[in-house]
Chain A
Amino acid sequence: MIAVRSALILTLGCIATMAAVGRPVSYVGGWTVIEESDRQSSSALVHYTPAPSLSLGIKTEINRDSDFAIHSAHPTFLAKRWFGADYQGNLYFHGGLGIASGINDNPGSDQMAIYGGVMADWETRSLFVGYRNRYLEAGDYASQFMQAFRTGFAPYVGASGDLHTWLMLEIDHRPSDPDSVTATPLVRFFKGPLLVEAGYNLTVNQPLFNFTYRF
């Protein structure tokens, strides 16, 4: 069964690769560093955008709950961007293929890890809604699905180069966790190439901290 799931995800990744035409994830030639830390894991991703709809990255993810780490190649595809004078909508496919290893006191051996999912968002200068999901298959370490919905608003509209502030709420759903649905209010600060998010998961009392830097 695991083999079938892995094959399906791999197939999804291959199809997504072939469909990678269109718009950039970042601008062509741009590098991006993304750090994310939520109630379950912390991760760091560095990616490069070689083409208007594709970024290729390397990601390290540490699952603090289950004491394993994943080191993976991580492509992201901008499958669709909706444009308007006042809004932008995006549909992405993301995935990864790498190695999962035990950390801390986890004696597990190295095993293949594969994951994939969808991200979508729609935003104006003062409103934001977004959704993302991921299915992870990491051998004996994990077989996890997660999805998260986020909405937010900007209390003021900043001009180019100003400090932009957003107030957001994220609801995440992880069926394999005892607390399967949790809520995290957060604040997002955005200035030039730097985006920082800080929040607190009210359900499981865990902090959230993310940042993105583009250069």
Chain B
Amino acid sequence: MNLLIKTMVMITALCLCLFTNAQEYDHEDHATHDMHEHHDHQEADSGQAADAGHGATDGPILTRTQDIDSALAQGGEPIVADVLGVVCDFCALAMNKIFSKREEVAAIYVDLDTKALNLVLVPGASMSDQTIADLAVQAGYRIADVRRGDEALGTAT
């Protein structure tokens, strides 16, 4: 009986190891899918934060904190990125650690309520959607959509 349990565990683990070979493809495939399906996710899940809400866009707008407001006052570009999988403070910590290292970033706040990464860039700096997506991967998560400027602030018409 004991040997049977061990054997089952090893076989299961081996199968799962082989299963993971398809992981990269799966992530890339779903990342594209998620970018397209973003509006459905956010419509169901956003709008809970006291300082965040919906503007003219379907996704949550920039969550305002003291640092965010200060960076905005300096003239930095606001960015809101919808993040999949951020359900705990370790997730927020990871995003903070990775993005805070970037010299382009003046302020950051990961809002678990809106599931969004809120950034304000240093005035004159830029950060592409692809860079944001790549940095999110380093933190362990995936970006579903990115909004900038008026769209991020909820003032787009």
A interface residue numbers (CB < 8 A to B): 5, 8-9, 12, 15-16, 19, 21-30, 52-53, 77-81, 83-88, 91, 93, 116-118, 123-125, 133, 135, 145, 147, 158-162, 164, 175-176, 190-193, 195, 214
Q: Please state if B88 and A164 are interface contacts (CB–CB under 8 Å).
A: yes
Q: Please state if A12 and B30 are interface contacts (CB–CB under 8 Å).
A: no
| Beyond A88-B87, A160-B89, 5 extra complex contacts between A and B, CB < 8 Å | A21-B21, A29-B97, A83-B84, A158-B89, A159-B112
Q: How far is the CA of A118 from the CA of B6 in the complex (A)?
A: 12
Q: Contact check: which of A24, A30, A85, A190 meets B44 at CB < 8 Å?
A: A85
B20 at the interface (CB under 8 A from A): yes
Cβ–Cβ < 8 Å partners of B20 in chain A: 19, 21-22, 77, 79-80, 91
Query: What distance in Å separates the Cβ of A110 from its nearest Cβ neighbour in chain B?
Result: 24
B75 at the interface (CB under 8 A from A): no
Cβ–Cβ < 8 Å partners of B91 in chain A: 88
Q: Interface centre among A30, A83, A117, by most B CB within 10 Å?
A: A83
Q: Please state if A15 and B142 are interface contacts (CB–CB under 8 Å).
A: no
Cβ–Cβ < 8 Å partners of B24 in chain A: 21-22
Count chain B residues whose beta carbon lies closer than 8 angstroms to a beta carbon of A. Answer: 53
Among the stretches B124-132, B133-141, B147-155, the one at the interface with A is B133-141
The residue of chain A having its C-beta at the shortest distance from the C-beta of B30 within the complex is A83
Q: How far is the CA of A24 from the CA of B47 in the complex (A)?
A: 29
B56 at the interface (CB under 8 A from A): no
Known contacts A22-B24, A24-B139, A52-B138: does B13 contact A191 (CB below 8 Å)? no
Q: Please state if A125 and B112 are interface contacts (CB–CB under 8 Å).
A: yes
Q: Interface centre among A77, A85, A116, A125, by most B CB within 10 Å?
A: A85
Q: Please state if A83 and B142 are interface contacts (CB–CB under 8 Å).
A: yes
